[in-house]
A and B are shown apart, each in its own frame.
Chain A
């Protein structure tokens, strides 16, 4: 692989993720509306929302600190960076070795800490409440996520996502029991980390239940737009991590232009499926009480640990 083609792939993938992320959000919302017998909004609605928000004047609380205004950009930057690490379209991207799965979890943690800090910045009661709940969910979701990734890392002997995907995509088709546990754990983490039902409800502003929405209450206009966009990229990144770990077939190698159309088509098909599944899950499940969230997530953590132990028992 020559470097220029690699960089071209890298840029292409990063731009693709940023542009396609709201579409995935729109698709999930549309599916959910269908499942719930509502008239579905346009799949492009998230783009129009972003455009509307960017055009508005920002309203900021008087005593906001610079941290508050910096955070949306940091969040967006972190998520964009994550989108560059995950092998979405191709493996072997030139930027991939700069950060492995542990660093990827670190990026998500960095974004979480910044958003929690920004939520506490204004000093409103909801901000602090949201920050506290978000960190509560985060401290359990993060180790569960790491353990899931470690299980995959043990199978391929590497913490590089690109190596993991290469190993998993080009193996003989075999069912790994450890990956089954890890997959279940990953799904639970995905729901929690992306503020979806049953942990959080992205469509509510009910004081008693909101987590993520409580943190971004004070944001408006372009800041809010960046945060919403970052949230969309985060969901996209998580879904593609899941795809990369559990159904990686069809991914291209960086620099291989001929495989690209197939890779894009495969990705879109897999995402459409995953988005529909997410909508179905969200329709079937009810939101848990906040204090059941730790139980939900510790179950995820234990499943991931079980997956790791299974790997040692069965495959070693």
Chain B
């Protein structure tokens, strides 16, 4: 039977090629968007499903590799699939299946050329991500990485007529390339000048501790730039919201996860010999990223920007898991390290699913109302009941509430942090639980933020009674859009309810990567129970949890009905007897964040204009800016401009001078090359 199934590597390659073919077909001239909507995106979704299945199989099979006679002469492409790649391919396939399905419905009302271009870039984008995960040499990896950056750049500037979109795209491209340079240098350091860039050779190379640390730092910041880690996060809240919603979902859900893949691949697999000091750096940056992300998310009133800041936050949570795992492994506790790594990878998967779902939900809101500003929304649960339901699932999941999936990975991260007493170094031992405290803080702040989002957008009354902006359809998501969201919402539930299955899979990934999985007792518990170390120490049974909560809630309902009555009268809201109510008196998104501004005031760069008491036309304005712009980005930009101005002196515009330059260059070359 297994002989009939395609091998995971061949199959994944076929899926990636299929995506490229779809992209090529989208180039064909078309009169309307029917081809893209009816064929390209649904086919892409099916390919995604196939990829998810293949990836899942690869987790359980021994690694496979392949050399493709493509690329430069004497420099063929090496491909390899192992459990780590299999896991990330599953993530890519499963999440992109939902997003592609949604996209098939989403681009209903747009022009043929625009949709065809999106379909082209979108499929190149997903295919390049698959190649990133399949690559087994630095050359193919960088080619795929850059293809991914470029195709997503073009997706970001889909609305290139807006200047803000163009500048967001430029910023993205710039930071993506800074990251790419760091990654390239990292590969260079690892190869140590031997010129062999296959991953096998890099794995075999033994770096001195100093060079290993240099390679680690390059990889950490190179991939971190793509992941949106501070201080290289500035592009993320600009670029993700600028793209069409399915693309934002893809970028926030999957693309930033390729950076996590790269980080894990390079640090654990290629560099090896992990040190705990690296882990402390990752922990510190992760905690900073997490708190920064959620605190700025609370200040946003643009729904998509808010979600983008939450991506920053969740990358921080993932980094926290990775950091703990490095600390544990580096100080000789591989079992605890495996637990932390599993927690990080679990959160990677969870974030892909719920953030994809939330961005798709924001797309449906945008479609129906034309609004992105939370302050203009309100009462959407009545207009868009289905979107509201799916969005609620996503919101509860990202707020790490049981029994959904976000809770499971945060629970595992806490469990990993609680392993701290086994560490020998006293400072590290007390610092690791402190980072867990910041995680608790961030989790509670996220819940606050999503109460704000859901309460302001979906609940309450519509705020400004205004005419809908042009292009608003006014109706709920339907057809393919709904299926896409339902798939991801089901993912949130399943990953939350059956964590032990995911745990087994991730255990395999960890075992193949670090040579160490979880303890035997953790693995032999039944599927109902999630046990990270031993039942005595900690366990969690989401199914029982859900069953009890549903049973108890139902019982309460039935008892009330049985012994009392179900009579209801409908009336105007009471509101403490206050008669003159208008929708404008509800909280706005900015008002909801006000207590946080008050508590964490020094963290924000705030420009607030309050109207004076005698102002005839009172206007309140509030602008929150990211401090990083002023201490990091703008100085660097000024420096770059200064240096370019100096270099521009070379450019005289006279041919004779240029010939002189050529002559001098040749002379110099003759000195060196002899």
Binding site for B on A (CB under 8 A): 54-55, 57-63, 65, 67, 73-74, 76-78, 80-81, 84, 95, 97-100, 102-103, 106-107, 109-110, 112-113, 116-117, 119-129, 131-133, 135-136, 138-140, 142-143, 146-147, 150, 153-154, 157-160, 163, 205, 207, 217-218, 222, 226, 291, 294, 301, 305, 308-309, 312-313, 316
Contact = CB atoms under 8 A, between A and B. Distances in A.
B447 A112 contact: yes
Interface in B409-448: 411, 414-415, 418, 421, 426, 429-430, 433-434, 436-437, 440-441, 443-445, 447-448
A119 B538 CA distance: 35
Contacts of A146: 414, 437, 440
Contacts of A222: 560, 564
Contacts of B545: 81, 98-99, 103
The 5 closest A-B pairs by CB, nearest first: A128-B587, A120-B455, A123-B460, A77-B553, A143-B440
A133 B595 contact: yes
17 contacts: A57-B565, A61-B570, A77-B556, A84-B548, A103-B407, A109-B400, A109-B401, A110-B396, A113-B401, A117-B451, A128-B586, A132-B587, A139-B447, A160-B536, A160-B538, A217-B575, A312-B421
Given A61-B573, A123-B378, A124-B573, A308 B433 contact: yes
Given A132-B595, A142-B443, A159-B538, 8 more contacts: A59-B571, A65-B381, A81-B552, A129-B587, A143-B443, A222-B560, A291-B598, A301-B441
A65 B538 CA distance: 38
B535 interface: yes
Nearest to A225: B560
B402 interface: yes
Nearest to B426: A312
B529 interface: yes
B572 A61 contact: yes
Contacts of A117: 451, 454-455, 459
Nearest to B400: A106
A58 B567 CA distance: 6
Contacts of B586: 120, 123-125, 128
B581 interface: yes
Q: Is the interface of B mostly helix, strand, loop or mixed?
A: helix
Highest count of chain A CB atoms <10 Å: which of B418, B448, B550: B448
B444 A143 contact: yes
A316 B429 contact: yes
Contact of A60 (B569, B578, B596): B569
Nearest to A110: B401
A58 B568 contact: yes
B437 A143 contact: yes
Interface of B: 378-379, 381-382, 396, 399-402, 407, 411, 414-415, 418, 421, 426, 429-430, 433-434, 436-437, 440-441, 443-445, 447-448, 450-452, 454-456, 459-461, 529, 535-541, 544-545, 548-550, 552-553, 556-557, 560, 563-565, 567-576, 578, 581, 583, 585-587, 591-592, 594-596, 598-599
Contacts of B434: 305, 308
Contact of A98 (B414, B440, B540, B599): B540
Contacts of A127: 460, 575
Nearest to A163: B536
A151 to B, nearest CB: 9
Given A81-B548, A100-B539, A158-B537, A116 B430 contact: no
Contact of B448 (A54, A129, A135): A135
A120 B599 CA distance: 22
Contacts of B440: 142-143, 146-147
Contact of A123 (B400, B418, B452, B573): B573
Given A98-B545, A154-B421, A126 B576 contact: yes
Contacts of B576: 126, 205, 207, 217
A58 B569 contact: yes
Contacts of B578: 124-126
A129 B564 CA distance: 32
Given A97-B529, A125-B586, A135-B451, A312 B429 contact: yes
Contact of B382 (A55, A63, A163): A63
B30 to A, nearest CB: 42
Contact of A125 (B418, B529, B575, B594): B575
A125 B418 CA distance: 42
A54 B560 contact: yes
Contacts of A124: 573-575, 578, 581, 585-586
Contact of A132 (B414, B529, B568, B592): B592
B498 to A, nearest CB: 15
Contacts of A123: 378-379, 459-461, 573, 583, 586
B544 A98 contact: yes
A120 B552 contact: no
Contacts of A217: 574-576
